[in-house]
Amino acid sequence: MKKFFSTLLFVIILGSLTSLAYLAIPRQDAVVAGSALATEVVAAQPQSPSAPAASLVYNAVALPLDVSSNWASQGIAFNAAGLATYVGSPVKQVARWNPNVSPPQFDTWFVDDGEGIVDGNFVFDPSDFPLEVGGSYWIQIDSSDPNLDVVSFVGDVPAEGAVSFTLKGGTGTCANNQIMVPLDQYDQNINNGADLAANIATANSISVNAIQQVLRWNPTTIPAQFDVWYVADGEGIVNGDFVFDPNLFVVEIGHPYWVCMASSGDGAVWPQ
C-alpha cells in the first residue's frame, strides 16, 4: 500500500490547559447574565490532565496514517505510551477527548508515572489506552527538553471510507467532538471552517446550523488558545482577533479539529 509522510512541528510556546477546558468558545460580545453565558456555553471542565507548569505545553495532533506496522517493526505499541515513546523524551502526557463519559473529559496517560485515567478510572496497563487510525490526541511536551524536535509519522494510507466519526449533539448546549479531516477528503473542497460545517451538514441532511462551532487549537498565540468559527454568525476568532472571511480559518486534511454539535446533529456520521 502507498506510503505517506505526515510531519508535525512542535512549537515552543507558553500555554496552559486552561484553554483546553473551554471548548465551546463564547463570543467576546456575548451578553453575560449572572454566571451563565446567555448566548454561548462553555464546555464542562475536564478532570484530567492537570494544568501544566510554564515549560509544559500542549500540541494537538492527528494520526491520518496507519502507523501501527511501522511502529511494530520498531517494537513500539500502538497505544498512548507508544506514541510517547515514538515522539521521545519531551512527552509528559498523552490525552484524548472522551465524550462517552459524563461529564465528558480527557483520558490521559501520564508518561513518567506509567499510568493513566481512562473513562474516569485509573489504569496501569498502557493497552487500556489504545490509539486509533484517524484519531486526534493532545501531547503535552516539556519545551525545555533539549531533544525537542520535529516528528514525522510514516505509515499506510487508510482505505477510502475507513475513517469516520459518529458525532454527539448536546442537549441545551452544543457538544464537543474531536475529529480529523481524513485523507480521502482531499477532493471535497473543504478549505475552511465554513466548508467543513457545510460538508458535515450536507452528508447528513441536517441544517448547517446544527454545527454551531468549528474549532482548532492554535499554539502560535500567547497564551495558546482555540481559533473558532461561529457557523450561524458567519464570523470567527483567529489569532485572538475577530474575522469575517471564512478563508482566514483554514482547514487542512490530516489535521485535528473540533465541532460543537447541537442536539439536532446528534448521531451524525462524517464523512460518509
- Average pLDDT of the chain to the nearest whole number: 83
How long a stretch of residues is the chain?
272
Instruction: Among 22-36, 129-143, 198-212, name the one with the lowest average pLDDT.
Output: 22-36
Rounded distance between C-alpha atoms, residue 29 and residue 47, angstroms: 28
**Between these two residues, 267 and 152, which has the higher pLDDT value?**
267
**Between these two residues, 161 and 15, which has the higher pLDDT value?**
161
Question: What are the tens digits of pLDDT across the range 232-242?
Answer: 999 999 999 99
For the chain, the C-alpha Rg in angstroms (whole number) is: 18
Residue that is written with C-alpha cell 462551532 in the block: 213
Whole-structure pTM value: 0.81
Confidence of residue 6 (pLDDT cuts 50, 70, 90): low
DSSP codes joined into one string, the chain: --EEEEEEPPP-----THHHH--SPPPTT--EETTEESS--PPPPPS-SPPPPTTEEEEEEE--SB-HHHHHTTT--SBHHHHHHHH-TTEEEEEEEETTSSS-EEEEEETTTTEEEETTEEE--GGGSB--TT-EEEEEEETT-TT---EEEEEEPPPTT---EEPPPPSSS-EEEEEE--GGGTTS---BHHHHHHHHHHHHT--GGGEEEEEEEETTSSS-EEEEEETTTTEEEETTEEE--GGGSB--TT-EEEEEE-GGGTT-EE--
Q: To the nearest whole percent, how much of the chain has pLDDT over 70?
A: 80
For the record, the C-alpha cell of 4 comes out as: 505517506
Q: What is the mean pLDDT of residues 65-93?
A: 95
Task: Please check whether residue 10 is in contact with residue 148, taking contact to mean a CB–CB distance below 8 angstroms.
Answer: yes
Task: Please check whether residue 122 is in contact with residue 58, taking contact to mean a CB–CB distance below 8 angstroms.
Answer: no
Rounded distance between C-alpha atoms, residue 119 and residue 105, angstroms: 8
User: How close are the terminal C-alpha atoms of the chain, in Å?
Assistant: 22
Instruction: Among 10-24, 85-99, 143-157, 192-206, name the one with the lowest average pLDDT.
Output: 10-24
Task: Please check whether residue 140 is in contact with residue 56, taking contact to mean a CB–CB distance below 8 angstroms.
Answer: yes
